Amino acid sequence: MTITIEKMASVKVIYMRKTGPYGFSNFQLMEKFKSWLITKGLLTASSVILGIIQDNPRLVKPEACRYDTCLVVASDYGPVEDGVFTDHILGGKYAVLMIAHTAEAIQNAWGSIFEELMGKGFIIDESRPLIERYKAELLREHLCEICIPVL
């Protein structure tokens, strides 16, 4: 497992949220959000979509876990509609793992990355959310990234 360290900048996003157990419904929200982006002409060859895991399911009841599907936008991006909201994602130091963009690879990564990071002496920063990052140029290569905030 190859992990790189990246200092991410804070970004403005537009997003849709679902509350409930993590799983297939995260994928469904992602598809709904991408469809909305396409209808608004916002999904481009340089888009960056984020899947934000807001809550630790070991600490928060599954029915209260929040998952946001976001599009990184310019800081001056205007108002939104249709159940889409704006927010800022704080930057900072992240451990980044590039993986195949498949359900199996993503599931396997989430099952092993924490042990791998702790084994390498990293401390997880639980004050910031976990991120799945989907850059358009990586998706064309069938890749995506898991980003874990570290101290």
pLDDT tens readout for residues 93-141 = 999 999 998 888 888 888 889 999 999 999 999 899 999 999 999 988 9
Q: Rounded to two decimals, what is the model's pTM?
A: 0.90
Identify the sign of the CA torsion 79, 84, 88, 92. Answer: negative
Do 3 and 96 form a contact (C-beta atoms < 8 A)? yes
pLDDT class for 82, splitting at 50, 70, 90? confident
pLDDT value at residue 139: 87
Domain count, the chain: 1
Q: What is the CATH number of the domain that holds 42?
A: 3.20.80.10
Structural domain harbouring 140: 3-149
Do 145 and 51 form a contact (C-beta atoms < 8 A)? no
Tens digits of per-residue pLDDT, 51-77? 999 998 888 999 999 999 999 999 888
Whether pLDDT at 4 is above 90: yes
The distance from CA 34 to its chain's CA centroid, rounded to whole angstroms, is 14
- Of the given ranges (20-24, 59-63, 106-110, 142-146), which has the lowest mean pLDDT? 106-110
Pairing of strands 85-89, 48-53: unpaired
Pairing of strands 143-149, 92-100: antiparallel
State the amino acid at position 76 in one-letter form.
D
Whether pLDDT at 1 is above 80: no
